[in-house]
Amino acid sequence: MRHQDNDLWIARQSTRARARLRLFCLPYAGGGARIYRTWADALPDDVEVCAVQLPGRDQRHNETPITDASKLIDALSVVLCPYLDMPYALFGHSMGAVLAYELARRLGAAYDREPSGLFVSAHGAPHLPRRRPPSHHLPDDEFIARMKALNGTPAEVFANPELLALLLPMLRADFKLVETYAELPGPVLTCPVLAIGGRSDSDVPPTSLEGWATVTRGPFKSMLFEGDHFFINSERETLLRVLKHYLSADYGGGS
């Protein structure tokens, strides 16, 4: 894959010459790299934040979204390969959590480069059954109601029919990816895993987070924040303080 193609996939707020660790951030369904645009300001100066921009959104809105997790991991593993010249960690929220997990295993198996840490947010362990029936195939009104219930899409999107019509195909594609995902073949990890969730998230109860303990032979911890499925927005400052601790050189991130 050509370097300019990689630039479509990876958004960096700034390149840090003295970086010792890269943090790759994977978005939730319907989200883009802009979710993480201010994270670098709150994290250690020697951590380079690399937000993953998937096809079908923002500046890639003219591209067809990828609805198959295996195909997306195939593509992402090639894209990230040139960035593995230093230690790295992976963060993913909701849909991004399973993508981060599968990437951690794929990069470890293909390049012998497991992450220094894996942060999985707002998603149950990959081997657990889904708590809700699929919704990506529902009529528009029912599908929109499902999105509203998750409380992650700005109200102005629902108030703008033209904008909503533009976003619906991408949202359906992401929901299809999540709802048809099944854990891919791959090794058990050895890196530390931190599973985090919202106390009021009815889709991801604490027991679902604890299930992530089985994906690694390394250290595991789970943690709850105030808020619902999108505590990543409402509890942003608290979340970033926790990540700063885990990614700090004193703690051992990137060592």
pLDDT in tens, 79-114: 999 999 999 999 999 999 999 999 999 999 999 999
Model pLDDT for residues 115-134, shown as the tens digit of each residue: 999 999 999 999 998 767 76
Q: What is the pLDDT of residue 255?
A: 43
Could you tell me the domains of the chain? 3-247 (3.40.50.1820)
What pLDDT does residue 17 have? 72
Strand order in the sheet with 88-93: 10-12, 47-52, 21-26, 88-93, 117-121, 193-198, 220-225
Q: Are 24 and 80 in contact (CB under 8 A)?
A: yes
User: What are the backbone dihedrals phi and psi of residue 196, each rounded to the nearest 5 degrees, phi first?
Assistant: -130, 150
What pLDDT score does 135 carry? Answer: 72
- Residue 4: pLDDT band (50, 70, 90) is very low
What is the distance between the alpha carbons of residues 172 and 174, in angstroms, rounded to a whole number?
Answer: 5
194, exposed or middle or buried, with CB in 10 Å at 0-12, 13-18, 19+?
Answer: buried
Percent over 70 (pLDDT), the chain: 92
Q: Which residues are catalytic?
A: 94
- For the whole model, what pTM was predicted? 0.91
Contact in structure between 192 and 204 (CB atoms under 8 Å): no
Out of 64-73, 152-161, 180-189, pick the least confident. Answer: 152-161
Amino acid at 61: H
Alpha-carbon gap, residue 88 to 20, rounded angstroms: 8
Q: In angstroms, rounded to a whole number, what is the distance separating the alpha carbons of residues 77 and 80?
A: 5
